[in-house]
Amino acid sequence: MSWLIDTIYYIVPFIIVLGVLVFVHEFGHYLMAKISGVKVEAFSIGFGKQLWGFTDKSGTKWKISAIPLGGYCQFLGDADASSSTSEVKDLTEEEKRMAFPFQPPIKKLLISIAGPAANYIFAIAIFASVLFFIGKIEFPAVVGEVIPNSAAEKAGIMAKDKIVSINGHKIEYFGDIAKEVELNTNKEIYIEIERNGNIIEKSFPLQPLSVTALTGERSEKQTRPMLGVKSINTFDVKSIQLGFGEAIIDASKQVWDITIVTLRGVGQMITGKRGSEDVGGVLRIAEMSGDITKEQGVLSLFLFMAMLSVNLGLINLFPIPLLDGGHVVIYLLEMTFGKELNQKLKDGLFKVGFALLIALMVFATWNDIVHLVQRWFA
């Protein structure tokens, strides 16, 4: 029976989270297309065989498909769901006015950007709602991961340990840990942790670790004494409520911070300053969705959904053909040169983009499998 409960905890939240984020993204494309006068022929959550659907009065076919790993918004004149090719041979003059391939580059650009923009707006809405109705978000002082060969690992600190105090100073949130570690002037650091309801005291020397820190406008590697723990992907909420305007501003700052941290992490992976083991795919999302639902509840799942929405919007803006960012680059070039790019060139770019995306998916899935195997054996 436990396996059935685990299946519900991990599969159901994953399908809900991914389905909502895909709907938000594609609805952004849909809404801008309608505003721009472009006909949407199909709006699908998922790929493959249709499980359920209906056709509205404007002729758009809304459907839920069997493979819940994405979705698409197909416009009139598209030969496929990715809008990478077009089929305009049999269109009438009236249909051409509503067909995507015949739109000016600026309209195509706005339709492409609208998907990622919707993900950002959705994330801001979630964060702002929590701030306005519930309170301010903080990370709890719970260890999510222990860095190998760090002082924490050698001292026997484990994942899910809650750090209660450092050098006699109470620790409420994860950010307090770094502050107390930086203020430590003793040869050893004294820590109280809570594990399975019991308080454990530990005293041990800190160990230098190499980290990438932001100095001015650039990042550089620094070596300094650190505890060697990472946060969990869950949240606590302070009982400090903000006004509506303050909540929107604070939520926008949080979304901006997530964007900057994500971009910095991608840059570090590209330059070799950071390992690529953090690249995860759908299995990692399913795992994290289940863990958060089981251990923290619905509120944390919504906050996780907001973070994921920012990442989905950002990744889709990367200038890779087939992604929205790749389309944006093409439309910007067409606007610059005043004419449409050669179709063979675009087809070639989309094939390269497809190969890159498949390679990235395979790599991310491999990382997910390795991570899950390590977790099971641990």
DSSP states of 155-196 as a string? TT--TTPEEEEETTEE--BHHHHHHHHHH--SSEEEEEEEET
Contacts of 137 (CB under 8 A, 6+ apart): 127, 130, 131, 235, 236, 237, 238, 254, 303
Contacts of 4 (CB under 8 A, 6+ apart): none
Instruction: List the structure tokens of 199.
Output: 């308080």
Task: Count CB atoms within 10 A of the CB of residue 243.
Answer: 11
Instruction: List the structure tokens of 319.
Output: 């200038």
The candidate with the shortest Cα–Cα distance to 304, out of 288, 324, 282, is 288
- CA–CA distance, 246 with 253 (Å, rounded to integer): 11
pLDDT of res. 218: 44
Q: Which helix (H) or strand (E) holds 37?
A: none
pLDDT of res. 224: 65
- CA–CA distance, 340 with 101 (Å, rounded to integer): 10
pLDDT of res. 122: 98
- CA–CA distance, 330 with 343 (Å, rounded to integer): 11
CB 21 within 8 A of CB 119: yes
Where b means 16+ CB within 10 Å and e means fewer, 261-279 reads eeeeebebeeeebeeeeeb
Catalytic sites, residue numbers? 26
Q: Any bridge partners for residue 225, and if so which?
A: 208
The candidate with the shortest Cα–Cα distance to 131, out of 238, 232, 256, 231, is 238
Instruction: List the structure tokens of 76.
Output: 């009139």
- 């416009």: which residue's tokens? 75
pLDDT of res. 309: 96
pTM (2 decimals)?
Answer: 0.76
Instruction: List the structure tokens of 293.
Output: 């639902």
- CA–CA distance, 213 with 226 (Å, rounded to integer): 13
pLDDT per residue as tens, the chain (378 positions): 566 666 777 788 888 999 999 999 999 999 999 999 999 999 999 988 999 999 999 999 999 999 888 899 999 988 766 566 666 667 888 888 999 988 999 999 999 999 999 999 999 999 999 888 887 766 778 888 888 888 888 888 888 889 899 888 888 878 788 778 777 767 788 899 999 889 999 888 887 665 544 443 444 455 667 788 887 665 565 656 678 899 999 899 989 988 987 887 788 777 776 667 777 888 888 888 887 777 777 887 888 899 999 999 999 999 998 899 999 999 999 999 888 888 888 888 888 888 988 888 888 888 888 877 877 775
pLDDT of res. 354: 84
- CA–CA distance, 57 with 376 (Å, rounded to integer): 51
3-state SS, residue 62: strand
Burial of 219 (0-12, 13-18, 19+ CB in 10 A): middle
